[in-house]
Chains A and B, each alone.
Chain A
Amino acid sequence: MKRVIDLAIVLALLAAVVGSFRYLGLDLKVLLGEGVGGQMADYALRFLRPDLGLEHLQAVGRGALETLAMSGLGTLLAALLGLLLALPAAGRFGWPGKALARLLLNALRAIPELVWAALMVLAAGLGPNAGALALAAHTAGVLGRLFAEALENAPPEPADAIRLEGGSHLAAFCYGTLPNLWPQLLAYMLYRWENNIRMASVLGFVGAGGLGQMLYTTLSLFQERQASTVILAMLALVLLVDALSDRMRQRWVRA
C-alpha cells in the first residue's frame, strides 16, 4: 500500500513539473535554441572584459566595504535583539511573555529582507543604514527563534546551582547557561552572516546602498563592463565571508 502511495506521489511530482513548464509557456527547445540562447550568448559576451580602471575599482572597493559593513553590523544587531527576545520566547518570563515574544519573532521573520529594506528606505532614507536595519530586523526573527530553541535545550543544572548558592538570575545565566550556549549561538550567527552577505548585495536594488545599488545602476545604464566588475567584487565578498566564517567556526565553535 505504501509503495502505491509513494508511486502516486512521484507521478504527481512529475506531473507538477511538466505542468509548471506548460503553465509558464516555457519550451526547453526555445530556451536553449537560437532565439533566446543567441540573445543570452551575446549578452554574456559583453561581460567578459571587466573594467579594471583605478577610478572604478575605488568605487567598487568602497561599495564592497559598505556591503560588508552592512551585513556584519546587521547580523550583530540582529543577534543582540534576537537574544533579548529569545529569553522570553524560551519561557523565562512566563507564558504570556513567551506567546508575545514568539509572535513578534515570527512576524519579524516572515517578512522577507527585501520588503523590510523597502520599508526602511521609506523610514530612514536611501543608503546602507536602511539595508543594515532591514537585515537586522529580519535576521533578528530568524536568530531569535534559533536562540530560543537552543536556550530551551540547555541543561538547567549549572544555572540552578548558582541560584542555590545565592547568585542573582543574571549571574546564574552568565555563569551557568551561557558558557555552553554561546558556541551554538555563534554558529547560528556565522551561518546567518554567510546568508546576509548574499542578501546585502541585493538590498541595494531598493536603494539600500552598497554593491547592489551599483549593480542596479550600471545594468540600467547598460554599462556591462562596469557591472561585471561589481559582480566579481560580490563574488569575492561572498568567498571572503565564507572563509572568515569557517575560520571562526574552527576556532570557537568546535570544542
Chain B
Amino acid sequence: MTVRLTGVGLRLGQVRALDGIDLHIEAGERVAVIGPSGAGKSSLLNLLATALQPDSGTVELLGEAPWRLSGRARQRLRTRIGLIHQAPPLPSRQRVVTTVLAGRLGRWGTLRGLASLLHPRDVPGARAALATLGLADKLFAQCGQLSGGQLQRVGIARVLYQQPELLLADEPVSAMDPVLADHTLETLCRHAGERGVTLVASLHAVELALAHFPRVIGVRDGRLAFDLPAAQVTPERLDALYANAGIASPQAAGAAPAPVQIPRC
C-alpha cells in the first residue's frame, strides 16, 4: 500500500486543518481531491509530502513511517515522493534547464548537484521532460520571463524529471486556461499510468477531476466528506460538499523577482 493514513489530525495555528483522516491508496492509483477553499486539500497534500507533521494518528508512505525515521532516512524517502506546489517555488533568476534538473538533487548527491549549477548535466533529459508539457523551446529561458501557466508547467516538469513513486499535485493547473489544463492533466495521468506511479491531485475544477481521475475524494472542513469512484459522485454530493463555499480563486503562480536594493551613497 502506497499511502496509509490512520486517524490523522493536523493543527495549523489556531485552526484544525485536518481531523480524523483515514485514507488508503494502493500503488498505481489515480486519486483526485476536491473541496471548497480552506477545506484542507493543500494541508492534506503537504502532509503526504512530509512537509507537515501530524499531531495525531499515523502516517505510512511507501511502506515507511516517515516521522519515525532519522533525518537522513527521511530525506531518502523524500526523493521517492514528488510534490507539485500550488505556487511554483522557482527562483526567477534561474534558468529553466537548471530548475528542471534540480528535481534529481536528492539522488545526485551534493557535489554532482553543485557541478550542474555551472554546467547542466543532463540537457536531453530536461528537454524531454519539458517537451511532454510543450515547453521544450523554453529550455534556456529564465524563469522570471515565463507566464504563470508556463511557470506551473516548469514546476510539473521538474517533478516529472524527479521520477518519484508517489506523485502529489497541489492545484497543478490553476493558472492555465481550460484547454491547456485539460491537456496537462491528461499528460500527467498518462505519465503516471505508463510508469505505475501513484498520483494524488487536488483540483478546484470539479469537471477536470471527474474527467481524468477514476477515484475522487471530497474534503470539507478538514474531514473526508466522501471517497468514491468518479462515476458515483452525484451532483447532490457535490452540492453538499460546496454548500456555502465562496468562489475559489486560483493562486497567482510564479514568484516575483526580489527587488534588488542598491544602497545610495
- Which residues of A pack against B, CB within 8 Å? 153-155, 157-158, 160-168, 170-171, 174-177, 179-181, 183-184, 187-188, 191, 249, 253-255
Contacts and interface: CB of A to CB of B under 8 A. Distances in A.
Nearest to B90: A158
A162 B105 contact: yes
A93 B50 CA distance: 22
A128 to B, nearest CB: 26
Contact of B105 (A157, A175, A177, A255): A175
User: In the complex, which range does the number of interface residues on chain B fall in?
Assistant: 35 or more
B91 A176 contact: yes
Given A166-B105, A184-B260, A253-B260, A171 B110 contact: yes
B83 interface: yes
Nearest to A188: B263
B152 interface: no
B28 interface: no
B103 interface: yes
B102 interface: yes
Nearest to B104: A165
Minimum-distance CB pairs A-B, first 3: A166-B106, A166-B79, A167-B105
A160 B79 CA distance: 14
Chain A contact surface mostly: helix
Contacts of B255: 155, 157-158
Given A183-B93, A184-B258, 13 more contacts: A154-B258, A155-B258, A157-B255, A158-B89, A158-B91, A163-B78, A165-B106, A170-B114, A171-B110, A175-B94, A179-B94, A181-B258, A255-B93
A132 to B, nearest CB: 23
Nearest to B144: A255
A22 B83 CA distance: 72
Interface string B52-87: 000000000000000000000001111111110101
Nearest to B50: A164
A18 to B, nearest CB: 28
Contacts of A162: 102, 105
20 contacts: A154-B258, A155-B258, A157-B85, A157-B87, A161-B85, A162-B102, A164-B51, A164-B78, A164-B83, A165-B164, A166-B78, A166-B105, A167-B105, A170-B114, A174-B114, A174-B117, A175-B99, A180-B91, A187-B261, A255-B93
B83 A165 contact: yes
A170 B117 CA distance: 12
B113 A175 contact: yes
Nearest to A154: B258
B174 interface: no
Nearest to B255: A155
A168 B78 CA distance: 11
Contacts of B82: 165
A253 B89 contact: no
Contact of B89 (A157, A167, A170, A183): A157
A152 B79 CA distance: 27
A81 to B, nearest CB: 20
B8 to A, nearest CB: 18
Interface in B136-155: 144
A241 B25 CA distance: 63
B106 A167 contact: yes
A175 B162 CA distance: 15
Nearest to A181: B258
B78 A179 contact: no
B199 interface: no
B105 A171 contact: yes
Contacts of A167: 75, 102, 105-106, 113
A14 to B, nearest CB: 26
Nearest to A176: B91
A161 B106 CA distance: 11
